Structure 1
Amino acid sequence: MALRPETAKPLNELAEALLHAPNSLPQGDRELIATYVSYLNDCYFCQTVHGSIAAACLNDDHELVKRVKVDFHGADISEKLKALLVIAAKVQKGGKQVSANDIEAAREQGATDMEIHDTVLIAAAFCMYNRYVDGLDTWQPRDEELYRQRGKKTAQEGYVSMSREYLPAKAPEVGAQS
């Protein structure tokens, strides 16, 4: 993202709005949705960093994050989150895969229309983020502890705040030569 600060800013703001801002869906659940979609897309960086953020929101329960990735139906999560993960997985395959029955099943488990909307948007956005990260062959360290430290900090501070570590204070003007 540091290569194009003018695009990094709105991407970080979108992540902030979807995953960190106040919402009726807990931050840990939203991060689990992002993690699961990233897992389905085989994006190591995103599934690992967002899994660490989710774990930080869930009392450092990294085992739960792993269970959600491999078998969320058997994981100790709410039925509402399971229904939302069904929707997220279908969005990952293609938006038209989501059926009226999927939406109704989520509503029956207590999901609001806004939570369903946000689930769809998180899933769709993470398909883009995953392709962006992998398409640029982004450096992806294999040290889990690095992700855990970053996850704790991001869970507390948010995406926009964390982006200040690698983005310039002011984005260069579009079209400016460096």
Structure 2
Amino acid sequence: MVHILKSGLALVGEGEATGEMAEAFAEIKRALQIPFVPNSMRTLANSPAAFKIYWAFLRASLEHSSLPQSLQSIILYAIAERRDCEYCSSWNELSCRTLGIDEQTLAGVVEDLGNVSPERLQAILQFAIKASLYPKELSAEDYQRLREEGLSDEEIVEIVFMAAVAAMNDTLADALKIDVDPQVTRMLAHSR
């Protein structure tokens, strides 16, 4: 059965994918260590060019970032929550939970960043959210606060990069009207 999104786009089924697309779907499952191809990738597969560009970008991000995966996930989660992207928020919450981020921290990300500890993480999340939502408002003091928390210039650039990735992911999910994967909904229900 073909699943049609609110955008009118169909989710490309795993069984429908052939050739390079079938190989890419298999690679996605291996790289993300999940037994299904996410709806985001199945939607992007409507355009082989967009799919290839996005997958190459995502794969490179996973392979080359020097930031811990848990920090990447919580940055993406915090921004998805602020941008009200249900799809990205669900995926990134699940990623955070899978990586062992505790309930108190997750609640602080959603309800009050002032309750997130340690202060280093709080500063990173505040900076990343500002970089994603209000990049022109970043001041020298914002960068200095991160440096005072011991972050290197390399880490600061990667945090800005993650903020931009979050904005792109949220835009893709919301503009393409991608439904949250049922598997993600089930896994979140079990982990809460």
TM-score (norm 1): 0.71
Alignment match, 1:100? 140
Q: Are 2:4 and 1:4 equivalent residues in the alignment?
A: no
Q: Is the 8 A contact 2:113 2:126 kept in 1?
A: no
Using the TM superposition, give the Cα deviation of residue 148 of structure 1 relative to its aligned residue in structure 2, in angstroms: 7.7
Using the TM superposition, give the Cα deviation of residue 55 of structure 1 relative to its aligned residue in structure 2, in angstroms: 1.8
Using the TM superposition, give the Cα deviation of residue 80 of structure 1 relative to its aligned residue in structure 2, in angstroms: 2.1
Deviations 1:59-117 (A, max 9, x none): 6x3553232222222123x3222211111111222311111100000010011111111
RMSD between aligned residues:
2.5
Identity %: 25
Deviations 1:99-149 (A, max 9, x none): 110000001001111111111111112112111111111122576324589
Structure 2 gaps, min length 5: 1-43
Listed as ranges, the matches of 1:45-64 within 5 Å are 45-58=87-100, 61-64=102-105
When residues 17 and 108 of structure 1 are mapped into structure 2, their CA distance, relative to the original with a 3 A threshold, is farther
CA distance in 2, matches of 1:83, 1:48: 23
- Higher RCO structure (Cα 8 Å, ≥6 apart): 1
Listed as ranges, the matches of 1:12-161 within 5 Å are 12-18=55-61, 20-21=62-63, 23-58=65-100, 61-76=102-117, 78-141=118-181, 144-146=185-187
When residues 5 and 54 of structure 1 are mapped into structure 2, their CA distance, relative to the original with a 3 A threshold, is farther
Deviations 1:21-80 (A, max 9, x none): 364432101110011111111001101101111221126x3553232222222123x322
When residues 114 and 128 of structure 1 are mapped into structure 2, their CA distance, relative to the original with a 3 A threshold, is same
**How many residues in Structure 1 have an aligned counterpart in Structure 2?**
147
CA distance in 2, matches of 1:58, 1:80: 18
Structure 1 gaps, min length 5: 150-178
CA distance in 2, matches of 1:10, 1:35: 23
CA distance in 2, matches of 1:7, 1:68: 31
